[in-house]
Amino acid sequence: MDFPTTRMRRLRATGALRGLVRETDLRADRLVAPLFVSETASAREPIHGMPGVQRLPIAAAVEEAREVAALGLAAVLLFGVPAEKDSEGSAAWEEEGVVQLTTAAIKQALPELLVITDVCLCEYTDHGHCGVLTRDGRVDNDATLELLARTASSHARAGADIVAPSDMMDGRVGAIRTELDSEGLTDVPILAYSAKFASAFYGPFREATGSAPAFGDRRSYQMDPANGHEAVREALLDASEGADMVMVKPALAYGDLIRAVKRATRLPVAAYNVSGEYAMVKAAAAAGYLDERSAVCEILTSLHRAGADIVISYHSKDAARWLSEAD
């Protein structure tokens, strides 16, 4: 397969290049809003560590998507919180799983809004790791690939415009691309979490999804924050396997790597302004230590300046409102 040609065709087909221009002005159509969708929630459930962010039932997620579209944001990114978990994370690829049903509902209501789905098992496994485990408790990389590919294809069949594997298993982009192509889903792009670091900034997210590891940590498959060279190598490997876009996560402390990955891959790059980064700003603003609006706009602008074509941020809706007020 001619990956560069096919990659651009997929991106054009979904409109995913809309607004991705090389300038540093902050714009709403370069921001993505993450949404947490819960299979058990009957109403919006506040997330303690993330003021203003909630776990949503499907109907409320559609309402949020309407607001996102009205604000001119680029897309939503869906994370699922299932009713039940097991050792394999089998709820991740159910045809009527929470992400699959939410994707279908949003696309029916808002066909022009881009829907990106997170592809990982950590929200669905009872042990909280991003893959299946061996008998001695290690993550089995190769056994996990088939399950990730199955999950990604189920999302695409439900209507996802872009699938985003965040697990950090070796070879998962190639496995997902092969699975999508075999099902005739050749125009569905892959946004790979290529440089995802073992970070202290993920704590509130794990509260939101109930995905904290039951034992150990994720350092065996997430990246060492000190090893920037590996981040570039991983992004290049993902590109060689068919990734259409790549991501750096977290964002705020990794501007140098956003720039390095952009230069090395020449692909659209996403930066994920993660839950802990969001919580820091919210806490400081609540304490009166800084002006939230000014701080958020400065942070998001800096990430675009570093080379991010899109930024995934829990601040996205607020930032879009502030930008519209400034016009």
Nearest 10 degrees: Cα torsion 233, 239, 245, 251: -10
Instruction: Give whole-number Cα distances, 70 to 57, 238, 274, in Å.
Output: 20, 33, 23
Determine whether 266 is exposed, middle or buried from the number of CB atoms within 10 Å of its CB (0-12, 13-18, 19+).
exposed
Whole-number Å distance between alpha carbons of 238 and 265: 10
Among residues 85, 107, 196, 317, which one is catalytic? Answer: 196
249 has catalytic annotation: yes
317 is catalytic: no
> Exposed (0-12), middle (13-18) or buried (19+): which is 23, by Cβ within 10 Å?
exposed
Q: Which two tokens stand for residue 118?
A: 């997170």
Q: Judge contact between 197 and 142, C-beta under 8 A.
A: no
Distances (CA, A) of 267 to 114, 255, 259: 19, 16, 11
Give the residue numbers annotated as catalytic, written as ranges.
Answer: 196, 249
